[in-house]
Amino acid sequence: MTGFLARRAPSIALVLFISSILAFALPRLAPGNVAVVLAGPDANAASVAAISQQLGLNRSPVVQYWDWISGLFHGNLGQSYLLHRSVASVIGGRLESTLELAVLSMILVILIGMTLGVLAGGSVRSGWARSVLDVTNSSLIAIPSFLVGLALILVFGIYHRWLPVSGEASILQNPQIGIQYLILPALALALAPAAVVARMLQTEMLRVRHEEFIDLAVSKGASSTRTTFRHVLRNSLGTAVVAIGLQFGHVLAGAVIIEAIFARNGLGQLAVSSVQNHDYPVLQVLIVGFVFVAVLSQLLTEVALAALDPRIRLGG
């Protein structure tokens, strides 16, 4: 494991370095000036110049980048231009909302994806039932998450009024109320990735069913249920793990839209407001943070895959 991490360290460092450059450069390519936003529409050129000098925006981009990246290495995430607070406190105030949404969404992705994948991959023998599962998977993959979210709001929030459709409550402080606010957005965010996991698991299970060791198990009298779960599913879990790891990035990306639809005050909404107000320090840390989480999820996926499949050796 140590050797594996040592080999991956240079590529991880390179990805984070490139992402930091993009996180610094891309917001500054957008039209507009944060000094003008802070000074107000009626400010004169002298006021705008004074704000630019105060924020260090009049320095060269190389110097600004170096000051920011060196501050990251020392644990200083910077200061929000708009809120006049540390970036750490700004992100920390929104982190719980996004974490709750992402964690519940990934739990639903695993549960729904694995269930649909196993059913479509061999547990269901009826032809029409398997066709229904295939149509369901294809529909969930094709329909965008924001349309799913709007449909859930109409059905469960407006027509039946079973669940709240906007706002949030901390699941740590009030679990019973917090989970009610989480169900609809988490379900809207999880259905499409779960369908992808189900489709990949189904394809792998159908492939494994044609292996010789499956024919041997059947010839020795193993039941259909035992063959499916002990042999077919067990040898298909690697594909499911890879699919789940890849879908984690899609969950983070989709959280921006879902938080807007369900009026959740998370990191997605913070990223949108930071773009609109040219709050560079907050946006830069958010981009690098999302990339870091995605890279970390890929590492954990490879480790889990090696643990499930003895043919894979991380030290090789």
- Residues 15 and 101 grouped into a single domain: no
81/94 Cα distance (integer angstroms) = 17
116/293 Cα distance (integer angstroms) = 27
What is the CA 242 to chain-centroid distance, rounded?
14
Name the residue range of residue 228's domain.
90-308
Q: Is residue 315 part of a domain?
A: no
Q: Region 302-308: what's the mean pLDDT?
A: 75
**What contacts 150, CB < 8 A, 6 or more positions away?**
261
- Residues 65 and 122 grouped into a single domain: no
- Residue at a domain's end among 16, 47, 73: 73
Q: Is residue 163 part of a domain?
A: yes
**Structure tokens given for 183:** 């169900």
- Residues 138 and 219 grouped into a single domain: yes
Q: Is residue 254 part of a domain?
A: yes
- Residues 25 and 97 grouped into a single domain: no
- Residues 174 and 35 grouped into a single domain: no
Q: Where are the beta strands (DSSP E) in 147-222?
A: none
Q: Is residue 316 part of a domain?
A: no
pLDDT of 111 reads: 92
51/37 Cα distance (integer angstroms) = 10
Q: At what angle do helices 87-118 and 267-276 cross, to 10 degrees?
A: 130
Looking at the structure of the chain, the number of domains it has is 2
- How does pLDDT run across 150-172, given as a tens digit for each residue? 888 898 888 888 888 888 888 87
- How does pLDDT run across 115-141, given as a tens digit for each residue? 888 888 776 566 677 788 888 888 888
Amino acid making up residue 282:
V
Q: Is residue 185 part of a domain?
A: yes
- Residues 11 and 37 grouped into a single domain: yes
- Residues 103 and 65 grouped into a single domain: no
- Residues 58 and 166 grouped into a single domain: no
Residue with the larger pLDDT of the pair 175 and 4: 175
Q: Is residue 258 part of a domain?
A: yes
Q: Is residue 233 part of a domain?
A: yes
pLDDT-derived band at 108 (thresholds 50, 70, 90) equals: very high
301/41 Cα distance (integer angstroms) = 50
- Residues 110 and 201 grouped into a single domain: yes
CATH, residue 200: 1.10.3720.10
Count of all residues that appear for the chain in the document: 316
191/141 Cα distance (integer angstroms) = 8
